[in-house]
């Protein structure tokens, strides 16, 4: 990042391998992560050779490879690259016969040396709030063995988790996974949709004293063959908006600060909405032309109002 008062540094002072230490105070095995890693893609959606190539690249390059929610395959392990094990609503690789979470099989996989971090997938930008289905024709014996399901049957990934049902439940689940994994970093991934839900997550961290070691924010621009077009194009905040909102809300809630005066929570939404009304009332033609701009202003104002309303004692 560039700052107005940065002192220029030589290349050898910056370093050729910048990294970020992931792990909070309750994490016993923090991970020194590269700033560039392989994003989540499951075996099954990717072939054996593709997974082998990606993980070998991670091994050679010294970065991490996210497994996707399809479980840990032998092809993720063979090259020896670092893994971020993603756990979705189907709990593939750590599930019981009825599809619920299994602590024993989770611990067995989580304690593998290759697994450096564990990511709970709440939602993804490609299909936020939408589950998935693995058709029976694609559910081969090998995929079924890796995912701990019956082969040649339709396998559903629900749109929600069954191991928890609200924000404090997620925090307790994070603590459980951290304990079962021997203290490895535990985080969650989401695409920002309902802003109040993210505020609830932040407040649950305060109430329980349990915090994730990392949060992955996905953007609504994502796409996948498993998503309806309506979800791919119209659901979830874009990445930059989602990042800005999550950082602002986390700061406001966890630090107990409000970013703007409280009175703005009342006036901020009224001004742009009044502008839309008056434009239509006084000059209809101009009003129609200005509506898109006015609605953008209204969106920003409502965002500002949301920040005004957020505080530790909300």
In angstroms, the CA 247 to CA 113 distance is: 32
What's the confidence (pLDDT) of residue 313? Answer: 45
Q: Is 93 left (phi over 0), alpha (psi -120 to 50) or beta?
A: left
Residue 311's pLDDT is 46
Which tokens hold the place of 201? 């997550």
Give the rounded distance of the alpha carbon of 311 from its chain centre: 23
Residue in the structure block whose two tokens are 């304990």: 179
Q: Which residues of the chain have pLDDT under 50?
A: 259, 310-314
pLDDT at 50: 96
Convert the pLDDT of each residue in 268-311 to its tens digit.
555 555 655 666 566 555 555 555 555 555 555 555 555 555 44
Give the pLDDT confidence score for residue 300 in this predicted structure: 52
The pLDDT of residue 201 is 92
Q: Which residues pair with 133 in a beta bridge?
A: 156
pTM above 0.75, yes or no: yes
Q: CA angle at residue 26 from 25 to 27, to 5 degrees?
A: 95
Q: What is the pLDDT of residue 193?
A: 82
Residue 241: what pLDDT? 82
């Amino acid at each position: 990042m560039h700052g107005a008062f940065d002192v220029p540094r030589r290349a050898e002072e910056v370093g050729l391998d910048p990294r970020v230490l992931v792990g909070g105070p309750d994490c016993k095995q923090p991970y020194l992560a590269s700033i560039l890693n392989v994003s989540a893609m499951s075996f099954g959606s990717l072939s054996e050779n593709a997974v082998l190539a990606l993980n070998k690249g991670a091994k050679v390059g010294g970065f991490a490879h996210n497994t996707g929610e399809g479980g840990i395959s032998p092809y993720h392990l063979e090259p020896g690259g670092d893994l971020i094990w993603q756990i979705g609503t189907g709990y593939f690789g750590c599930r019981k016969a009825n599809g619920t979470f299994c602590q024993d099989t989770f611990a067995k996989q989580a304690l593998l040396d290759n697994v450096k971090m564990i990511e709970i997938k709440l939602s993804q930008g490609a299909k936020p709030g939408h589950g998935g289905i693995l058709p029976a024709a694609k559910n081969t014996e090998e995929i079924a063995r890796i995912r701990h399901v019956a082969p040649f049957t339709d396998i559903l990934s629900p749109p929600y988790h069954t191991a928890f049902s609200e924000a404090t439940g997620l925090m307790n689940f994070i603590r459980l996974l951290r304990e079962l994994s021997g203290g490895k970093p535990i985080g969650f991934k989401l695409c920002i949709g309902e802003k109040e839900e993210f505020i609830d997550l932040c407040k649950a961290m305060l109430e329980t004293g349990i915090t994730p070691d990392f949060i992955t924010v996905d953007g609504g621009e994502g796409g996948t063959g498993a998503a309806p077009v309506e979800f791919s194009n119209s659901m979830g905040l874009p990445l930059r908006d989602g990042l800005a909102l999550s950082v602002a809300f986390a700061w406001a809630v966890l630090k107990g600060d409000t970013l703007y005066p409280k009175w703005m929570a009342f006036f901020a939404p009224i001004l742009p909405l009044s502008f839309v009304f008056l434009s239509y009332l006084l000059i209809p033609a101009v009003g129609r032309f200005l509506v898109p701009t006015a609605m953008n202003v209204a969106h920003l104002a409502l965002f500002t109002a949301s920040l005004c309303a957020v505080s530790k004692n909300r």
